[in-house]
Amino acid sequence: MNLQNHKNLIQENGFTIINNIFSEEEIERITDVIQNIDTSKETFRKSEDLFAIRQFLKEIPDVKDLIFTNNLKQIIKEIFGENYFVVKSIYFDKPEKSNWYVAYHQDLTISVDKKVELENFGPWTTKQNQFAVQPPLEILENIFTIRIHLDDTDENNGALKVVPKSHSKGIYRPETIDWNLEKENICNVEKGGVMIMKPLLLHGSNRTINGKKRRVIHIEFSDKQLPEVINWSERIN
pLDDT tens-digit map of 125-153 = 998 778 999 999 999 999 999 999 999 99
Cα distance between residue 208 and residue 99, in whole Å: 6
Supply the pLDDT for residue 50: 65
Q: Convert the pLDDT of each residue in 9-28 to its tens digit.
A: 999 999 999 999 999 999 99
4-222: CATH number: 2.60.120.620
What is the per-residue pLDDT across 40-86, written as a single tens digit (0 to 9) for each? Answer: 777 677 766 668 888 999 999 999 999 999 999 999 999 999 999 99
Whole-prediction pTM: 0.95
More confident position, 96 or 71:
71
* Distance in angstroms (rounded) separating the CA atoms of residues 166 and 202: 6
The predicted model gives 96-115 an average pLDDT of 92
Report how far apart the first and last C-alpha atoms of the chain are (Å, whole number). 23
Sheet holding 185-187, edge to edge: 102-105, 203-205, 160-162, 185-187
The domains of the chain are located at 4-222
The DSSP annotation for 176-226 comes to G--TTT---EEE-B-TT-EEEE-TTS-EEEPPB-SS--EEEEEEEEE-PPP
CB 115 within 8 A of CB 131: yes
Which three-class secondary structure state does DSSP give residue 6?
A: helix
Quote the pLDDT of residue 47.
67
pLDDT tens-digit profile of 148-204?
999 999 999 999 999 999 999 999 999 999 999 999 999 999 999 999 999 999 999
